[in-house]
Structure 1
Amino acid sequence: MKKVHSGKVRDLYELDGGDLLLVATDRVSVYDVALPTDVPDKGKLLTSLSAWWFERMADVVPNHVISVDDVPEEFAGRAMRCRPLRMLPVECIARGYLTGLGLREYQRDGAVSGVTLPEGLVDADRLPEPIFTPTTKLQTESGHDEFITFDDVVEAVGSSDIAEQLRELTLDIYRRGAARALEQGVIIADTKLEFGLDANGTLTLADEVLTSDSSRFWRLDEWQPGRPGGQRSYDKQYVRDWSVSTGWDKTYPGPAMPDDVVAATRARYVEVYERITGLTWSN
């Protein structure tokens, strides 16, 4: 194997024959900084939930997964053997609820990524319908991804047809995933997806799908728009909130997580995995 990239959470290797190995680590990244403390089983939980979703979205769009079993033993449970793709330079985000950076954009402009929204919305309000709010993928001068419009996506990918497919597929995947999760008492407020083109030019779903790292998950029975302190989350928002409470300035290096925060984070990842899939986490 040859390591070709080490990200904040995932490592990428090239295997003999040209396949790629996408390895999810136990690292936690918030505000574009990987924290120094790992969360046990996080990589396996992300990989298992992604694999579950990839299988259920296969009739919507092709994906890059070749196998989750045919991987080196040292990475068993937290790696996927994947087809190489030419990744597209945008983050595809679907929002069904208004919160986070989307709420900030709305409060400033009355719109998110050029999509105008009704007046008077508050944090965690459900939107009239899910919207496509893409962002940059390569970090800008601000050091963070920034919202772009649909026209910006057309320019970035060089094709109005591909841009339209990205929008429709992102919203289709979100709607299907959100409907499944809602049946299990979980709200998917928003999610981030990545796509690439395979050797034949076919648009292909990649990276991870509807996980606690790429999505906001809330408890349906506790959802209350406008509630001070926000919603109870099953995702890394819990770590974001804790990190800010320490007085951290969101620059490298990040603060080390105490044992109770690590345990609470792991418990949330396990709970949402079990709720959504209906399976019992046995690790």
Structure 2
Amino acid sequence: LSLADWRRDSVNTLVHGLYSLVKSIKPHVKVGISPFGIWKPGHPHTIHGLSSFDSLYADSKKWLELGWVDYLSPQLYWEIDPPQQSYPALLDWWLQQNKMNRHLYTGNYASAIVVKSWPVNELVRQVQLSRDRRDQLSLGNVFFSAKTFSHNTHRIGDTFKSGEYSTPALQPEMTWLTAPAPSSPQNVRASADFKLYWSSDSSHTVRSWAVYALRADVWELVHVLNRDTMEVGVQGGYYAVRGVNRLGKESDAVTVHVDDIYVGVVGK
């Protein structure tokens, strides 16, 4: 091996060994890596910049292709339009390497609204582009740095809260991992003061609770609650409560009808 090949092989051994070790001890634990966003210049053909493969000795394409991660968050810290480092071009390229159908949660450069004077709308558009590719397992976004949101820099938090992130969301299920199936909620009931209550069994399979409301014949997720919170205020209408396990798998639903005349359990 050349020195460069030896270095890459050493990193590959570490990545594969880490994934295998984690799965041998706790199969449910999710393993992910956030690599530099360009694997090699010319991949795709318009892309220029630092080579992760040659300069960082990181063959991140191989990790994704062989399923050595449960999710990958490539750092696509560039704008949409410039062809030399195009956000959508790179996103599409990474999705094409996903032979094992892992999850892709794109890394986005939120700090660029300060250090590079990006408009907040650049990041909004990037999230929209990521969501347009859901069917290719583009299933989320990871922002650096979170301080821009916690400090609401340039009102980025307000913008996303009123737009792309105006509704709650569940973690996408990782179907290739194994964990006990979540139990359905027990003793689901609605009170006259418009609250839902329920309880949990003793199996400890539930990590969170998902509450749905029926609106215009569509079930919409309205609340995601931690496993110790088993009550929530509601309005009139039909609601469904599901348990969710640590891998994002949901239980069968228990449905409740709430109105001014009758409050009760409809059924599973």
TM-score tier by shorter-chain length is under 0.3
Q: TM-score, normalised by structure 2?
A: 0.26
Task: Identify the structure with bigger relative contact order (alpha carbons < 8 Å, sequence gap 6+).
Answer: 1
Q: TM-score, normalised by structure 1?
A: 0.25
Higher Rg of the two aligned structures: 2
